[in-house]
Structure 1
Amino acid sequence: MSVDLQPFAEFAAELADELGAFIRPLFRRPLDIVSKADESPVTEADRGAEQVMRKLINARFPDHGIVGEEFGAENADAEFVWHLDPIDGTKSFISGSAQFVTLIALTRHNRPVLGVINQPVNNERWIGIEGQKTTFNGKPVSVRKCPDIADATLYTWGAEILYGPRGPAVKSLIETVRLTRFSADGYAYGLLALGFVDIVADEGMKPHDYLALAPVVKGAGGHITDWQGREIEFGIGEKTLAVGDRTLHEAALNILQG
């Protein structure tokens, strides 16, 4: 049964507004930084922002589930579940770089049907809704054509990826494309939707990292899967590949698969 997603999209925009108001005063300010179990950093901005979102969701949609990066899951078996990453790109945030975003996703039966990529400092917002055109600050956007992988611009999460077990595959992709940039996290997928980036390849992703990206990329005319070519949904996306021009997908996938 189809569901009108527009009310959820409007609410997600409200969440992004509230998060922006919370995060902006903390940007480029001294903050205590704590290392989590996986050695990734977390700040009071991450935790406080997620608490703001959880409070608003529970007040508006008490029957929905919530899964957040900082405070785990509640009612996760609900038909609709919100997946929250208050600051995707905490390393950028604590370094004073505006290449961090807030990611908000809504899944229905584990499939992402709504995604928001929000950059609160630059006031940039991408909204992807299943079956609709992705918008950037309210205006429709599209990926660009790039049929030859040798002409492509690639983003990947950080130079650290080259020293991990998937480093050789990513290095091969880097050596194939025209230009490579690092460390934009979810922001890179927004740039792909705007037509400035052709490929984004990431690994080590968690659901709160990848679920919001899929509706944004697909609604802009792009294609996004995991490294096995499977459609993104909850539990599928730890290794993510997004392309603007769909003709790049097979070539990039073959390289990443070695």
Structure 2
Amino acid sequence: MLTNNEYAAHAAKIAEIASEAARGFFRGRLGVEFKADESPVTQADKGIEADIRAYLAEHFPDNGIFGEEHGIEGGDREHLWVIDPIDGTRSFLSGNPMFGFLLAYLNGGVPQVGVIAMPALHETFIGVKGQGATLQGQPISSSTQTALDRAILYVNEGEKIYRDYPTIFEQLIRAGQTRRFSYDCYPHALVAAGHVDAVVDYDLQPYDYLPVSVVVEAAGGVISDWRGDQLTLNSDGRVVSAATPELHAELLALVNGSS
């Protein structure tokens, strides 16, 4: 039986493989297809996930895998790996370096290890449940900000929030001392590293939020769905991450209409 730190060592190796592969595709000629929901997928997405599945099949043949591009295999197994080969495909295909690679290891449905790798930035964030988070092997921690009116706030998927929750959107664009509109995983990594205080996110899938949840929590932050419930494979994709419980509570009040 491996320890979480041993799983984390494998996760770090997988991130190296994925990051190197992504850099090989980045700003090259990509074959782009569109899924049923009109989101793009590239040859890189499919190729990277295939490489990671091959690694996991070799080293963890009895573990389940849930990947964005190739679906679930062994989803009912105790040990499950969750993969997003390129988080931010629209950034990737347009030459924007703000795309990531996401990986989580779950035991009994509970995330134990999470990776946020930023291949074009040569940054890898790793979180291990109860044991801290690192960037390039060095410890990181979330900020100590407790007040929303003094916080650096990032709003992910703002146009979708505006479409579905216009009142909440109107409050978000007035919240925080400084705010930025953003996408994908990097804002959550910046919460873990203490540069950003909070992120409100929307319309995510398990392979988007489970990896970042471990990194944020291991760094001392708080992350949940908009109701304040723990993130699981069955969460609805509405996510709030924050540096402190106090700041998290303020944002939950805002998105639930009680601010």
Provide structure 2 residue ranges, at least 5 long, that are not aligned to the other structure: none
1:69 corresponds to 2:46: no
Distance 1:217 1:76 in 2: 24
Distance 1:235 1:170 in 2: 25
Paired position in structure 2 for 1:253? 252
Paired position in structure 2 for 1:232? 231
Question: What letter matches 1:22 in structure 2?
Answer: A
Paired position in structure 2 for 1:16? 15
The DSSP-based 3-state class of the residue aligned with 2:120 is coil
Question: What letter matches 1:37 in structure 2?
Answer: A
TM normalised by structure 2 equals 0.95
Paired position in structure 2 for 1:132? 131
The 8 Å contact of residues 66 and 81 in structure 1, kept in 2 or not, is answered as: yes
Distance 1:158 1:29 in 2: 26
TM normalised by structure 1 equals 0.96
Q: CA deviation at 1:168?
A: 2.2
Paired position in structure 1 for 2:115? 116
Distance 1:188 1:7 in 2: 27
Question: What letter matches 1:42 in structure 2?
Answer: V
Q: CA deviation at 1:3?
A: 6.1
Question: What letter matches 2:88 in structure 1?
Answer: G
The 8 Å contact of residues 162 and 171 in structure 1, kept in 2 or not, is answered as: no
Question: What letter matches 1:229 in structure 2?
Answer: G
The DSSP-based 3-state class of the residue aligned with 2:80 is strand
Q: CA deviation at 1:122?
A: 1.4
1:193 corresponds to 2:210: no
Q: 1:59 to 1:3 in 2, by over 3 A?
A: closer
Distance 1:47 1:173 in 2: 35
The 8 Å contact of residues 204 and 238 in structure 2, kept in 1 or not, is answered as: yes
Paired position in structure 1 for 2:159? 160
Distance 2:74 2:49 in 1: 16
The 8 Å contact of residues 100 and 117 in structure 2, kept in 1 or not, is answered as: yes
The DSSP-based 3-state class of the residue aligned with 2:180 is strand
The DSSP-based 3-state class of the residue aligned with 1:231 is coil
Distance 2:161 2:151 in 1: 19
Q: Deviations over 1:189-225 (max 9, x none)?
A: 1111111111111111110000001110011110001
Q: Deviations over 1:58-78 (max 9, x none)?
A: 110000000000000001111
How many residue pairs get matched?
Answer: 257
1:52 corresponds to 2:51: yes
The 8 Å contact of residues 98 and 120 in structure 2, kept in 1 or not, is answered as: no
CA RMSD of aligned residues (A): 1.4
Task: Provide runs of 4+ in structure 1 moved above 3 Å.
Answer: none
Paired position in structure 1 for 2:148? 149
Paired position in structure 1 for 2:95? 96
Q: Deviations over 1:214-250 (max 9, x none)?
A: 1100111100010000011211251010001221111
Distance 1:93 1:34 in 2: 13
Distance 1:48 1:185 in 2: 20
Provide structure 1 residue ranges, at least 5 long, that are not aligned to the other structure: none
